[in-house]
Amino acid sequence: MINILWDASHIWGYLLLHAVKATGIPFRVLKGLDIAHSGLTGKMLLVPGGSARRKHQALGAQGTEAIHRFVEEGGHYLGFCGGAGLALSGGLGLCPWKRDGMPDRMQHLVSGHLVCEVASGNPIVPSSLSGKPALLPVWWPGRFDEPSDRQGVEVLARYRAAGPDLYVADMPYSSMPGDILTEWSNMYGVKLRPSILDGKPCVVTGKLGRGSWLLSYSHLETPGDGTPGSDHASRWFLHILREWSGESIPFCALPPLVPSSLPILWEDADLISAALRLESLLELAQELGLLFPRNDWLLGWRSGVPGSQFNSLKAALCTTLGFTPDDKRIRMWNARREEFLKSFDLFEQGARSWLLARRLSETLADSSPSLLPRELLVDQRTSLFGSPMFGGGLSEHLLDILEELV
């Protein structure tokens, strides 16, 4: 049995859920309160991306102690992105390192694949990647603060170069000519290249008591898409599961994920209607040029557009519809149905208005910028989508209800 900590994970939780379900390994999804009240059993705790701060709050002192005890007694901790940040000093403290800040916000807005140098000699690294360059996916990563004394921490991978599909914010870095990037730097002082990650650790590991942990700012659980190198991450992820769970997994690449193509097993008219109405909002946003396709499971977004929340809502609705509606889930939905539908009506109307207003503001930006004040758009966005750093808003309320069902 392996465990997945869910709190404040959103779309990254659904990616991990998809990856684990594909293996057939028995698993259970837990909240921080579950761990605080009942502790942990099994061989592994997997923690997806999302907000490390909110995950830590959900665990509290008792949950933090339970995870420490679990690892010290021989369990394994695997954390991606926010789940990696959670395990650092100041959080769970499994790893003695701290999280390093990003002085240039633009340098944090990196998504896609990076070429990484993978270490050799550690059995948790698959032999096919050991000592070789690998294309590893990052989705708006944090950064480890690597001290000169590594304090028993082993670096398994370091960032080296941009991959073929790398974006910086909403700019396709891989499509930018080198001479133009140099010109931007000289004329405007804009450095689009994510140099702040150069040579920095991407994946680290260490031991605590009889157990061990592995922290990755690369999302190794990213679904495969069939492009060259896209299986490097999933090959590593599945190797870790084999090594630490003891389970046999008969394949070396994760299957693709297309949320809207998942089979519908819960034929609830209200949930299906919400999914269709959300799809209409996403189509509108794409027509307005505010969202754009990145891959099978992710829509990219223009800078300042709450694309993460839109993606999380789509993943949540499609995943919920893919569950068999057992008695407990039906009772829970019936208790929250009216609340969800009222909130979704408000969200749908507000989001449509905001998307159109945001597009209008771009049209007026040069000729009449004062006609649609930025502060008004920010306030409306906050009520609908919350803060980019701290969450909140109507979208998060809807996600909370759907994630209870998950």
Distance CA 272, CA 43 (A): 37
- The reply to whether 233 and 312 lie within a common domain is no
In a domain, residue 251? The reply is no
Residue ending a domain, among 245, 267, 300, is 245
- The reply to whether 240 and 304 lie within a common domain is no
In a domain, residue 35? The reply is yes
Range of the domain at 134: 2-245
Distance CA 216, CA 285 (A): 32
In a domain, residue 239? The reply is yes
- The reply to whether 63 and 130 lie within a common domain is yes
User: Tens-digit pLDDT profile for the chain (406 aa)?
Assistant: 899 999 999 999 999 999 999 999 999 999 999 999 999 999 999 999 999 999 999 999 999 999 999 999 999 999 999 999 999 999 999 999 999 877 666 667 899 999 999 999 999 999 999 999 999 999 999 999 999 888 899 999 999 999 999 999 899 988 888 888 888 888 888 777 777 788 999 999 999 999 999 999 999 999 987 666 679 999 999 999 999 999 999 888 899 999 999 999 999 999 999 999 999 999 999 999 999 999 999 999 999 999 999 999 999 999 999 998 999 999 999 999 999 999 999 999 999 999 999 999 989 888 887 778 888 889 999 999 998 767 789 999 999 999 988 8
Residue ending a domain, among 184, 215, 245, is 245
- The reply to whether 297 and 341 lie within a common domain is yes
CB 305 within 8 A of CB 290: yes
- The reply to whether 273 and 218 lie within a common domain is no
In a domain, residue 250? The reply is no
- The reply to whether 237 and 365 lie within a common domain is no
Stated pTM of the model: 0.94
- The reply to whether 75 and 15 lie within a common domain is yes
Neighbours of 346 (CB within 10 A): 15
- The reply to whether 238 and 114 lie within a common domain is yes
- The reply to whether 171 and 285 lie within a common domain is no
In a domain, residue 220? The reply is yes
Task: Tell me whether strands 110-118 and 154-162 are parallel, antiparallel or unpaired.
Answer: antiparallel
Domains in the chain, number: 2
In a domain, residue 57? The reply is yes
In a domain, residue 252? The reply is no
CATH of the domain at 87: 3.40.50.880
Distance CA 147, CA 170 (A): 32
- The reply to whether 94 and 221 lie within a common domain is yes
- The reply to whether 369 and 295 lie within a common domain is yes
Distance CA 230, CA 26 (A): 26
- 22: which 2 tokens? 């594909």
- The reply to whether 152 and 221 lie within a common domain is yes
CB 169 within 8 A of CB 102: no
In a domain, residue 295? The reply is yes
Helix axes 393-405, 374-385, angle to 10 degrees: 20
Residue ending a domain, among 216, 245, 274, is 245
